[in-house]
Chains A and B, each alone.
Chain A
C-alpha cells in the first residue's frame, strides 16, 4: 500500500500541472484578452489565487508522497 501511496505522488504532480494549464491557459488568458472589468476579476482570481494554491499545493503534496512522507 505504501508503494501505491508513493507512486500516486506522480499523479498528484501531473494533476497540479493540468490544473495550472486549465486555470491559466483555458480560463484566465481568454478572460484577460477580453479586457473588460467583468472578466478581469475572475482572470485575476484564477491566475494569482487559485493557480498557486492548487498547482503549488498539489505539486508539493505529490512530491512529499513520492518521498514517502505519508507512509502509514
Chain B
C-alpha cells in the first residue's frame, strides 16, 4: 500500500520536520485565537460602548461566540479548498489570515477614538480568525497523518493535539508576562495590545517553515491518478455513504470531546474567577501550571491509541469526566470558600477612601477590608457606595466586590483538581485526530473531518461558558425568588448547575460512541 511505501521510504528527520511545521503553525493559530478570549474583559471596555461593564462583557462574549460559530463555515470553505488544491497551500492561507487578523486587532484605535468603526472592525477580524481556525486544524491533522507510519498515526498526530492546550498555555504566559512588566494602568491602557502584535513575528516564522514543505504524498498521488473529486462538499454531505460517518463523528466523538475540552480548560478558569472569586493572576497560574503538567499526556494517549485502539481511550475519558465533574467542582468551590476557613485573630485591615464624583456633589466611599485566614488565604472585600445629601443617591445599593488569594495548600490542591480535568481532556483529545482521519477517504478527508471537529468543538464546546453561566444564573435567580417568598431553596448548590450541560452532552455522546463506532478501522489509503 502507498501509505506503507511512503512510511518505509521516509526518513525520520523529514517526518519530524512535517510534524514540527504543522504543529508550530497550529499552535500559533490557537494562541491567536485564545488571546482574544483571555483579554475579553479589557477588549469589552475598549471597543464596546456601554456604561455597564457587564453589558460590555456580554457583547464580547457574543463576539467570542461569533468566533466559534463561524468555525464550521471555515471548515467547509477551507476543507473544500484543501481537498481540491492540496493540504499545504490551504493551511498556508489559513495561517496568514489568522496572523493578519490578530495583528490588526492590536492596531485598532479604541471606541473613544474612532467610534462605532472600532467594534465593527474587531468583530470582522474576529470572524476572520474563526474562519481561519476552521480551516487550519483539519489541514494540519490530515497533512501529518498522511505522512505518518500506519502503526504510529496516533502518536504522530498527537503532536497536533498538544497545540490547542499549548496555545492556551502560551497565551496565558504572554499575558501574565506583559502584565508583570508594566503597571496595571499601562496594561489596561495600551499593554494589552502587545500579545496581539507579537503574533505577527511567530506567524512569519511559521509561514516560512511551512512554505518549504512538500505536499502530502497521499494527496499528491490522488491528484496524479485523477482521483480528486470535483465537488468535495457534495461528495461529503450529499452522499449517504459519507454523510452518515460525518454525523457519527460529530455525535459519537467530537461533541463529547468538545465539552470535555472546554470544561477542563475554559470553564475551570471561568469558575475559579467568577464563582470562586479567585484573583485574575492566581487563577491563571492554576490553569497554566495544570496545562503544562498535563500536555505530555496528549502524546501518551496518542501513542497508547496505536496500541489498544482509539475508541476505548476516548470513551473512557468521557465517562470518567461526566461522572466526576460535580465532586471535582464542589471541591474547587470549598477550597476557596472562606466561610469554611478560620480568620486569624487581630488580622483584619480596613481602609476607607473618599473621592468626589466629577460634576456632582456626591462622594464615592470605597471601603477595602482585608481578611486573613489561618491557611494563608486572603479575602479582599471592596465596598463602593455613594455618599450624598440627595435621597435618590442614598437609596442606591452599595457595590461589593470580592477577590480571594488562596493559601499554598489550596493553591496546589486546585492545580491538582484542574490537572485531573486536563487528563480527561488528553484522553478524549489525544487520539481524536487519528480517529477522524481514519474515518474518511483521501479525496474528501479535509472537508469531512473538519466539519464535525469544528461543530463539536466550536458550537457544542464553544458555547459551554454561555450555556453553563445561564444555567447557574437561572438556579441563583430561582433561589433568590424562593428566599424572598420564604420558601425552601430549590437548588442546594446553584454554582454546580452549569455542569449539567457538559454532563448531558458528554453522556449522549458516550452512548452513541459506544453503540455505533467501529474501533477497528485504521485504513486511510482508501
Contact = CB atoms under 8 A, between A and B. Distances in A.
Do A and B form a real pair? yes
Interface of A: 4-5, 8, 12, 15, 38, 41-42, 45, 49-50, 53, 57-58, 60-61, 64-65, 69-70, 72
B65 A45 contact: yes
Contact of B58 (A38, A58, A64, A69): A38
B259 interface: no
B387 interface: no
B240 A12 contact: no
Interface in B245-259: 247-248, 250-251
Contacts of A53: 455, 459
A57 B460 CA distance: 13
B251 A58 contact: yes
B62 A41 contact: yes
A5 B516 contact: yes
B463 A50 contact: yes
Give the dominant DSSP class at A's interface: helix
Give the dominant DSSP class at B's interface: helix
A70 B247 CA distance: 11
B475 interface: no
Given A15-B508, A49-B459, A70-B248, A65 B516 contact: yes
A57 B240 contact: no
Nearest to B519: A72
Contacts of B243: 60
Given A45-B463, A64-B244, 9 more contacts: A5-B516, A12-B251, A15-B508, A38-B58, A53-B459, A57-B250, A58-B251, A61-B251, A64-B247
Contacts of B247: 57, 60-61, 64
Contacts of A49: 69, 459
22 contacts: A4-B515, A8-B511, A38-B55, A38-B58, A38-B59, A45-B463, A49-B459, A53-B455, A53-B459, A57-B247, A57-B251, A60-B243, A60-B247, A64-B247, A65-B516, A69-B240, A69-B244, A70-B244, A70-B248, A70-B515, A72-B516, A72-B518
Contacts of B463: 45, 50
A56 B303 CA distance: 36
B455 A45 contact: no
Contacts of B240: 64, 69
